[in-house]
């Protein structure tokens, strides 16, 4: 080497090791600080969540306690009102069909036209 002191390779290795240890230590400390910060953040969030839950439970309990149960019986008369009545203006039924329809609507027995179904007596002349 020229006119200077010789550089010891072990000193370079020791300096590199020291720098590596410092960087590694700083990294490790940062990881620990980050983990501790995350744990603290979670603890704060859990505490806030629990306080909110308790407040909601108390509010619901107070609201439920103010409800008054009342039993009432309501009796009302049934009212019917006929709005539209069917009208058979253009009836196209035969007279017998119309009688059967009217009998069904009124609930009466089947109406028979005059003279239909009359059985002559046994002593009637032939």
Model confidence pLDDT, tens digit, residues 28-75: 888 888 778 888 888 999 999 999 999 999 999 999 888 887 776 656
User: Is a pLDDT exceeding 80 seen at residue 92?
Assistant: no
Read off the tokens for 23. 């960087």
Least confident of 9-13, 15-19, 32-36, 83-87: 83-87
Q: Which is more confidently placed, 73 or 101?
A: 101
Mean pLDDT (the chain, rounded) = 75
Integer Cα distance of 30 and 40 in angstroms: 15
Q: What is the pLDDT of residue 67?
A: 86
Distance of CA 73 to CAs 13, 77, 78, 80, 105, Å? Answer: 97, 13, 15, 22, 37
User: What does pTM read for this prediction?
Assistant: 0.32
């Amino acid at each position: 080497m020229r006119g200077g002191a010789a550089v010891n390779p072990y000193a370079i290795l020791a300096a590199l090791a020291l720098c590596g240890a410092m960087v590694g230590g700083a990294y490790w400390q940062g990881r620990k600080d980050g983990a501790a910060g995350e744990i603290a953040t979670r603890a704060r969030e859990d505490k806030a969540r629990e306080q909110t839950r308790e407040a909601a439970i108390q509010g619901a309990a107070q609201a439920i306690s103010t409800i008054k149960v009342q039993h009432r019986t309501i009796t009302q008369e049934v009212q019917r009102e006929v709005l539209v009545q069917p009208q058979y203006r253009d009836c196209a039924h035969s007279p017998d069909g119309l009688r059967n329809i009217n009998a069904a609507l009124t609930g009466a027995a089947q109406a028979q036209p005059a003279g239909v179904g009359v059985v002559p007596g046994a002593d009637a002349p032939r």
